[in-house]
Amino acid sequence: MITFDKVTKTFPNQFTALEDITFEIEPGEFVFVLGPSGSGKTTLLRLILRDTRPTSGRVLVAGQDIGLLPNKEIPNLRRQIGAAFQDFKLIMDKTAFENIALALDILKKTDREITSTATKLLEKVGLSGKEHLFPTQLSGGEIQRVTIARALALDPVLLFADEPTGNLDNQTSAPIINLLSDINQAGTTVIMATHDRDLVNQFSKRQLHLDQGKLVKDTKKKKKAKKEDKPDKKPDHKNTESTAPQTK
Ligand code: ADP
Ligand code: MG
């Protein structure tokens, strides 16, 4: 689903935020991007959103080199990615419900669809009963839940969460990750950036470790060839390409 192929990002001030990064994320994975502040986590996510371009190397999303994507295709790319960024603030004079309704309104949904979808999304993130509270009336964890619900309004194939637990204590953080994990179980690929090593170590999920712009560790386990992955019979010779099992 996402491939980084020797990606380097040097900003115009000559600062290199990411250097020679190569990894692959498959559809349905849950991946933590872990690293201290300034290690390049947000830059990595911004590259996938085509919010910035690599200086060298390629970023592929669904097989497409997004560096080559014409500008008019960018909104379409972003529509497939739900992004819950720390600095995508909620609108303070709108309730939880209204914040989500706004995201759905942009997608040109009818009023009826908006009400039913926003209600369902708030229920999914555990905020039933708090729909009509304003951000100032919600706890930090609840605000993150609204932000995640708003990202899900796009019905994305990929969900980004950039430091969703940044301002939360451990007791509030773990349930947020459990929520992301549930979303992942339902089929959405999830990428979560965080500096909190102790927190992510409580979960047995893949970790990409960044340090000063370098990928210093990837805990992805190499898949063993499983018996059930093998074809029962010889694939049709005309279709060998498409019917062959994916081996990795
Ligand atoms: P993280 O999200 O891990 O804290 P970032 O990806 O935001 O790290 O930033 C990585 C490094 O790149 C930081 O040192 C930051 O100052 C630098 N950086 C980020 N954006 C820019 C930019 N637009 N211009 C110059 N330097 C930048
Ligand atoms: Mg960041």
Ligand with minimal distance to 40 CA? 1
Half-sphere exposure of 242 (CA within 13 A, CB side): 3
Q: What's the confidence (pLDDT) of residue 84?
A: 76
Residues 6+ apart with CB under 8 A from 185: none
Q: Whose CA is nearest to atom 6 of ligand 1?
A: 40
Alpha carbon distance 9, 20 (integer Å)? 9
Tokens of 118: 């926003």
Encode the chain (248 residues) as per-residue pLDDT tens digits: 999 999 999 999 999 999 999 999 999 999 999 999 999 999 999 999 999 999 999 999 988 899 899 999 998 888 888 887 765 689 999 999 999 999 899 888 899 999 999 999 999 999 999 999 999 999 999 999 999 999 999 888 999 999 999 888 888 899 999 999 999 999 999 999 999 999 999 999 999 999 999 999 999 876 555 555 545 444 444 444 444 444 44
Handedness of CA 57, 61, 64, 67 (dihedral sign): negative
Q: What's the confidence (pLDDT) of residue 225?
A: 54
Q: State which ligand 1 atom lies nearest to the alpha carbon of 46.
A: 6
pTM reported for the whole predicted model: 0.85
Biggest CA–CA distance in the chain, Å, is 63
Instruction: Lay out the sheet containing 64-65: strands in order across.
Output: 16-25, 2-10, 56-61, 64-65
Q: What's the confidence (pLDDT) of residue 224?
A: 56
Give phi and psi for 121, each to the nearest 5.
-65, -40
Tokens of 234: 């010889």
**Ion ligand 2: residue ranges with CB closer than 5 A:** 41-42
Q: List pocket residues of ligand 1, CB cut-off 6 Å.
A: 11, 13, 15, 17, 35, 37-43
Start-to-end CA distance of the chain, whole Å, equals 14
